[in-house]
Structure 1
Amino acid sequence: MNRIDRLTAILIQLQSQRITKAQEVADRFGISLRTVYRDIRALEEAGVPIGSEAGIGYFLANGYRLPPVMFTPEEARALLTAHHFINTFTDAGVQQAFESALFKIKSVLPSKEQDMLEDLQDKVKVVAPSTRSDHPDDIHLSKIQQAMMQRQVIAMEYFSPGSGEFTNRSIEPIGVVYYGDAWHVIAYCQLRQDYRDFRLDRMSKVNMLSQHYHLRDKLSLEQYLQQQSQTTDARLMKVRFDPSFARYTTQTRYSQGFVQEEKLEDGVEMWFMVGEEGYFARWLLMYTYGVKIIEPESLKNTMRKLVGQLQHHL
């Protein structure tokens, strides 16, 4: 990237957020802090009103705005690709907002680029795993994001696969995370008086309350995730699959806490870090005689109980 393009990109970055740190600019463009300072001075000399706070960062003076931004073809294609992921892995609220934004983006492109994007639209697909259980219209992602921005408490009913029951919860969200083929909201639970991880597709009757909360006494999302990486309630479970069954676990095992596998003479041994033993046991039931439990003993007992219940209903 030449210097003129970099200066323009830095100006756009300054306009995109209230405070921009010099280190953020350096990391983005792979340049030194000294070069960042020179670029900022060049923008100031060109008449751009840039303010600064020592030890904090740079900002644009109130009221200063660039004219409408022109997107490069590469940027437009990247946004089109992101559109496909959003349509597959988010909910209706987020999808509608992004589609509206994409129309605005297309409106500032030259006619030639618009035609190319239209042609590309049908040539990019994102296929969700066939085992996904969430329904995009029902996962409340947009509402959760709104609650976090406005610091509003969320009231909901939450389904626990372990107990098979719904409980009423009031939560104070600190962030959302996508893992294990599902969206999760990390929140302070007023009922449990502690932080909890809630899957959005297990939430129902979700409402934003008039009650507000403060972040000053809350963990950040990053702090929570760091804590979870150091301390977890998950337990190691080992099972052995018949080779003819093991290949059918490929799409679903990661959502069950899959860690590693080892191919043996009599099968494929897999290790899982499991938080909800009952939920994991129900997943194993699908593989009937094609799976053997190695450890722990409690998982064997859970499986015996489930098999007994199944026999009772035959």
Structure 2
Amino acid sequence: MNRLDRLTAILIHLQTKRVVRAQELSDRFNISLRTVYRDVRSLEEAGVPIGAEAGVGYFLNDYHLPPVSFTNTEASALLLAGKLIEKWADKSIRTEFESALFKIKSVLKRHDQEHLDDLDKLVSVSNPVVRQPYSDTLLTTIQQAVARQHVLDVLYHSGYNDAVTRREVEPVGLYHYGMAWHLIGYCRVRADYRDFRVDRIRELTDTNQRFPRHERLSLQEYLELIKRKFDRPSVVATVIFEKAIVRHLNEQKYIWGFLSEEDLGEHVRIQLCTPFVDGLARWLLSYGKYVTIEEPPLLLDKMRSLAGEVNAHYGKAADPNDPFSGQTPENEGSDRRERKVQLSVV
């Protein structure tokens, strides 16, 4: 990005918030604080009324740019975001985003509009396998309550005990993980912070009753607390795969903390780092004899234990009282047909 474009982008950024910190501009544009100070000074010299408060940040004094247009790539990025929202948000969010996207398209140049129309047919997102929420307005209501610090009245269906309970919740944020949206909030009934899956909320009402946000954890503080609570030391594992199957690892090796890869000719040595040794062992077991554990001994012991369980399960002797015990997939179908014929004759 050249300096003129950056100065324009900084000015637009200053219009998005009441106060903007210099570090925020530095992080967004990947420039030093010294460059931020110089750019802001250039804007001031150009007549832009920028105010500053030491230790707080910059702000604009009754100044607005005329409506800005979107570039072709910016509009394309919004269309891509819309595809994700279509699958990962409820109807209330989809409707509002679609309305916003139409407004954006209305100010684009004709060739950019045609570009989006063509791109719309060429980009798609598969349907996620998730439970549908009880209501199509949950995410919008939760967003507004989080921003306004309003207490929510929630009728919640718990998954672990299949019970439905009513809660008063002080929402601190929305968080997406495990293929679902989660409402993080302070539950007045339990007198503690709780994680509510949005698709398990049967009823949701904004009480319009405000709560003091400063007395509650922020979303980031809550996530850090959970991370420390369940944090466990990571284990570095060295594993050798036959080269012929390395291409089948795809992105899964990154899930298990991929560190490095060394070509050994017909084999590849891969280093992984994860705190979930049991899960890593089960994943590696799926590659059978094509994978060898070098270290640590803990992972090797886990693999031996799992292999023993599988062998005990599938290698047990046939039960003489079970007509289908010990059958192989090849003869199972024919045996079932023979038994059905015998039963019909009797």
Which amino acid letter does the alignment assign opposite residue 46 of structure 1? A
Correspondence for 1:238: none
How many pairs are equivalent? 251
Shift in alpha-carbon separation, 1:191–1:136, aligned structure 2, 3 A: closer
Correspondence for 1:56: 56
Shift in alpha-carbon separation, 1:164–1:137, aligned structure 2, 3 A: closer
- Whole-angstrom CA distance in 2 between matches of 1:162 and 1:2: 55
- Whole-angstrom CA distance in 2 between matches of 1:161 and 1:139: 21
Correspondence for 2:42: 42
**Structure 1 segments (4+ residues) deviating >4 Å:** none
1:47 aligned counterpart, secondary structure: coil
Per-residue deviation, residues 28-73 of structure 1 (Å, max 9, x unmatched): 1111111111110110011101000101110111x31110011111
Identity among equivalent pairs (%): 48
- Whole-angstrom CA distance in 2 between matches of 1:233 and 1:194: 20
Q: Name which of 161, 164, 184 aligns with 1:163.
A: 161
> Residues 89 and 136 of structure 1 are in contact (CA less than 8 Å); yes or no, is this contact kept in structure 2?
no
Correspondence for 2:208: 210
Taking structure 1 as the reference length, the TM-score comes to 0.74
Shift of 1:24: 1.2
Q: Name which of 262, 269, 279 aligns with 2:284.
A: 262
Give the alignment's Cα RMSD to 1 decimal.
2.8
Shift of 1:9: 0.4
Shift of 1:164: 1.1
> Residues 155 and 170 of structure 1 are in contact (CA less than 8 Å); yes or no, is this contact kept in structure 2?
yes
Shift of 1:74: 0.7
Correspondence for 1:134: 132
Taking structure 2 as the reference length, the TM-score comes to 0.67
Correspondence for 2:90: 91
- Whole-angstrom CA distance in 2 between matches of 1:175 and 1:229: 16
Shift in alpha-carbon separation, 1:233–1:9, aligned structure 2, 3 A: closer
1:262 aligned counterpart, secondary structure: helix
Which amino acid letter does the alignment assign opposite residue 164 of structure 2? F
Alignment of 1:1-314 (within 5 A): 1-61=1-61, 63-129=62-128, 131-135=129-133, 137-138=135-136, 140-232=138-230, 259-260=279-280, 261-263=283-285, 265=288
> Residues 92 and 136 of structure 1 are in contact (CA less than 8 Å); yes or no, is this contact kept in structure 2?
no
Gaps of 5+ in 2: 233-251, 253-275, 292-309, 314-346
> Residues 157 and 163 of structure 2 are in contact (CA less than 8 Å); yes or no, is this contact kept in structure 1?
yes
Gaps of 5+ in 1: 235-249, 251-256, 269-288, 293-314
Which of the pair has more CA radius of gyration?
2
> Residues 7 and 39 of structure 1 are in contact (CA less than 8 Å); yes or no, is this contact kept in structure 2?
yes
Which structure carries more relative contact order (alpha carbon 8 Å, separation 6+)? 1
